[in-house]
Structure 1
Amino acid sequence: MPIRRISAADAYGTLRANPDSNWPRRDDPANRFAHFADPSFKPRFTLEPGQRIFTIGSCFARGIERTLADRGFDIPTLALKVDKTGWSGDPTTILNNYVPPAIAPQIRWAFGLEEFDIDRHAIEVAPGRYIDPQLTLGFRPVAAEALVGRRNDISAIYRNLASSHVVLITLGLIEAWFDNRSGLYINCPPPKGIVRTDPSRFELHVLDYADVTRSLADLVDLLDRVCPPGHRIILTVSPVPLQATFTSSDVAVANAYSKAVLRAAVEPFVADRAHIEYFPSYESVVLTDRSIAFVDDQVHIQTSMVRFNVDRMINRYVETGDDTIANVIARAREDGAAGRFQAGLKRLQQAWTSHPGNPDLAIALARAHLRAGNGAAAESLLLALLETHESVPGRTLLARHYNESGRHEEAALQAEKACEHGKAMLDPSLQRVEAYYHLGRFEEGFVVLDRIRWPLERKSLLLHWKARYCERLGRLEDAEAFLRECNGLVENALYMAAFAEFLAKQDRWPEAAEWVDRALLHDPNEKTGLRLRAEIRKARLPSRQAGVATADAATPLERAARWSTALIRRAVGKA
């Protein structure tokens, strides 16, 4: 039976009206899947800071609730205090619910619709010592009174549903353990010892679509009974995959089935019930490169990814009114400064869809794309801007992109055009200098350097470039003087390594080794310094001393290698 029936005319009308009905090109400046994926959605209601939001679900829900609290929402689940004498795991995970049918019983116990019975619902693992299988792994066996007390504390938290404006439910998985004694699904695998002593009590159910929709219908009806009138429900599917599967399938295959069933089961409720919406956090995570979406265990989600999804949910659900382009750009800068770079990029993309062609917004969005490694999108954006607006920042940014991509002819052209509007402007002149250097236009580049008005804080960069140009022009004494002055102004590993390379080319290895050590002490990963260190240690040069070398004589390179190693040992306190 279809969950929606749409006439042909309406279907084609929706296709035309939906700006996100097709996949964007990778080089589209507004590509909503660039870096962190941002599939669109259209909320039917709004949220207000200070509202009470009750979160139910897996560990992804725990990450969401902490971020929501930071944004000014009232999150009652954070008020639970955990007695660690009976709980060895992360205290925040004690409320985790992984399988849909295990959620409703906790609400029924909280509101007195059913009674928690320790003989039926708990597991006695030793005489007088019990565990609660409705909790996740991390429990310690406790006395009956302690277990009932903890269950009462959890029920008190669930009773906050009676005053919650919004219920956010994150569905986790469908490999569900069923307790034949209680007739309920539980939230964790039964202990192996209990399985051996009572093998008929528990069994694993791999749920299907009908199982999940039936449990969701029960849950939604229950929430309609206990929540206040006018409450809203936001459903989402946890992107956190199965850590392991109890079936014979590859965990990736089992997880794909699990998430597909959960995602499909949600859609009829969104289609049929006006107070229920789906938030696509699952799609956002799984459509993002796994190397930036997941931590190293390939299971849990990066904090930045969770924060990004909460930010985009709040940005859609919370009314902010019309905003100026300047404010959007300023907030995107604030996002970047606070480590929420992806949120800033998406903020700019959303503004761009409403204000395409705005020059300031184009520049800000191009910068964000370049930072994200989306050079093609930034180039497309800047070229389109320059067709209609003359922009020195736009040409300078494009020249920088071309220089970084090795396209120095194009970089020189853009930098020259930018400099026509201010011959001594720092940034476009710098891109021009870099392009000319790689193109071998050394005389022209040095003239540009002499004409630039450099601020004092950038003088070291000026000296560095002058040294590079003088070296290529054969003015070695001038080059050395500029390098020494540059390194006397600032302590920068790049400049130190450049001086070391210059000295090595003059076969002045002991001096070069000293500057290699200085560079690597400041930055152990400096590439030029590491390359020169390898040459010092591995190369074998003949002695430059006259006559035949004695047994104790060493080549300059060997002396430099010994001296370099001794310097490092002294620096780290090993000598």
Structure 2
Amino acid sequence: MPPPSPYRGLPARAFWRGAVAGASPFPTDIYRPKFAVTRDTKVFTAGSCFAQHVGAAMKAAGIGVIDAEPARRGMTPETAKRFGYGVYSARFGNLYTVRQFRQLVAEMNGAQPALPVWERDGRFWDALRPGVEPEGLATPELVAEMRAQHLSALARALQEAEVIVFTLGLTEAWEHRQSGTVYPTAPGTIAGSYDPEVFRFVNYGVADIVEDFTALETSLASINPDLKWLLTVSPVPLAATAKEDHVLAATTRSKATLRVVCDMLAESSPRIDYFPSYELVTSPAHPRSPFAEDLRSVRPEIVAQIMQTFLAAHGLGGAPDAAASPNPTNPSTESESDAVCEDILLDAFAPDRP
């Protein structure tokens, strides 16, 4: 008889052979929710580009995703999305880092970011969400006015929310040296101009991100003490890195850091859960690459299967409807091409290669 072992009697999901090798790339038991998300749950969505797919699938499933800044009447869906309406629960654009989210809530409570307006060719952009006004605005005063309206809507949304679904995307960012104000894009990418004496590159570590999240959670608990969190990590690789490392190594470092943070946070509280979208994309059980030809965009049918896994775990039945579910017979379609992502603009700075 084999000697006793702590592995004897463990469920099949604990063993690579059978749970990954020889199994579906979307195992039904990979995610066991800590708390329920129902169609009546008031969900606040935020995060990096991949979070846009999460929010769209939840809306399509009939979940009560908050939209505190709806598009103006008569605006087409395409135009609305281009200008940041309906993409997240408020019109803050992509929050690539936890530091961004922490800063946004601090500003909502009265903090003042440095250099909040960037200029290019006589037009003006909100430096904290430059992607939501792709053409810029006519005056700095108009930028400030619209931002004040946005912060007011954000406060209402966060007070109403029951669950925040937050997708962590990046560890790399650009900060204002003197104040620490963090921006979603490097100055000079969409607007503004880069001055190394004014701005610096940062790459947050585990301790930095845990500290930021703890401060963010504490701040929000003061206005919404019953708030729960559902964290996930974006599987989309970095478009570029400002580190000296190869972009592949920089991507691995970034995603590993974020994954460790999520584990630490989820283990620390019954109000914080983690959904493994990153693992479902990067699993070696896929019979073909889950990425499109650019090796960054997650194929639409993979996104649909990921969200089906989430919805099924919450008893919400099956895949998202046709409004959010890509056509699985067209695997060449790039799901990320439908997302509004500032970081893809970095491709324009890549040198030509033979």
> Secondary structure, in 3 states, of the residue corresponding to 2:14?
coil
> Structure 1 vs Structure 2: percent identity of aligned residues?
22
Match of 1:22 in 2: 15
> Secondary structure, in 3 states, of the residue corresponding to 1:125?
strand
Match of 1:96 in 2: 94
Q: Does 1:173 align with 2:170?
A: yes
Instruction: List aligned pairs for 1:49-448, cutoff 5 A.
Output: 49-77=39-67, 79-81=69-71, 89=82, 91=84, 92=87, 95-110=93-108, 113-116=109-112, 120-125=114-119, 129-137=123-131, 139-142=134-137, 143-159=139-155, 160-191=157-188, 194-195=192-193, 198-227=195-224, 229-287=225-283, 289=286, 291-318=288-315
Pairwise CA distance, 1:291: 4.8
Match of 1:363 in 2: none
Does the Cα contact within 8 Å between 1:69 and 1:75 map onto a contact in 2? yes
Aligned residues: 309
> Secondary structure, in 3 states, of the residue corresponding to 2:146?
helix
Does the Cα contact within 8 Å between 2:117 and 2:140 map onto a contact in 1? no
> Secondary structure, in 3 states, of the residue corresponding to 2:12?
coil
Pairwise CA distance, 1:151: 1.5
Question: Alpha-carbon deviations, 1:451-478, whole Å to 9, x = none?
Answer: xxxxxxxxxxxxxxxxxxxxxxxxxxxx
Question: Alpha-carbon deviations, 1:203-246, whole Å to 9, x = none?
Answer: 1012222111111211222232232x433111111111111111
Match of 1:392 in 2: none
Q: Which has the higher strand share?
A: 2
Does the Cα contact within 8 Å between 2:118 and 2:127 map onto a contact in 1? no
Residues 225 and 12 of structure 1, relative CA distance in 2, 3 Å threshold: farther
Segments of 5+ residues of structure 1 without an aligned counterpart are 1-8, 321-330, 343-575
Partners of 1:302 and 1:136 lie apart in 2 by 27
Pairwise CA distance, 1:183: 2.2
Does the Cα contact within 8 Å between 2:71 and 2:80 map onto a contact in 1? no
Pairwise CA distance, 1:302: 2.3
Question: Alpha-carbon deviations, 1:243-262, whole Å to 9, x = none?
Answer: 11112222111100000011
> Secondary structure, in 3 states, of the residue corresponding to 1:235?
strand
More relative contact order in 1 or in 2 (CA 8 Å, sep 6+)?
2
Q: Which has the higher helix share?
A: 1
Does the Cα contact within 8 Å between 1:39 and 1:283 map onto a contact in 2? no
Q: Which moved more, 1:73-82 or 1:50-59?
A: 73-82
Segments of 5+ residues of structure 2 without an aligned counterpart are 330-354
Residues 38 and 262 of structure 1, relative CA distance in 2, 3 Å threshold: farther
Question: Alpha-carbon deviations, 1:373-404, whole Å to 9, x = none?
Answer: xxxxxxxxxxxxxxxxxxxxxxxxxxxxxxxx
Q: Does 1:47 align with 2:37?
A: yes
Match of 2:337 in 1: none
TM-score normalized by structure 1? 0.48
Partners of 1:90 and 1:23 lie apart in 2 by 44
Partners of 2:272 and 2:27 lie apart in 1 by 23
Partners of 1:131 and 1:339 lie apart in 2 by 33
Does the Cα contact within 8 Å between 1:172 and 1:238 map onto a contact in 2? yes
Question: Alpha-carbon deviations, 1:318-339, whole Å to 9, x = none?
Answer: 378xxxxxxxxxx79x99xx87
Partners of 1:286 and 1:305 lie apart in 2 by 11
Q: Which moved more, 1:261-270 or 1:72-81?
A: 72-81
Q: Which amino acid aligns with 1:19?
A: A
Q: Which amino acid aligns with 2:42?
A: R
Partners of 1:339 and 1:101 lie apart in 2 by 32
> Secondary structure, in 3 states, of the residue corresponding to 1:173?
coil
Question: Alpha-carbon deviations, 1:336-368, whole Å to 9, x = none?
Answer: xx87879xxxxxxxxxxxxxxxxxxxxxxxxxx
Does the Cα contact within 8 Å between 2:300 and 2:327 map onto a contact in 1? no
Partners of 1:18 and 1:26 lie apart in 2 by 10
Instruction: List aligned pairs for 1:508-547, cutoff 5 A.
Output: none
Pairwise CA distance, 1:19: 3.1
How large is the RMSD of aligned CA atoms in angstroms? 3.6
Pairwise CA distance, 1:136: 4.7
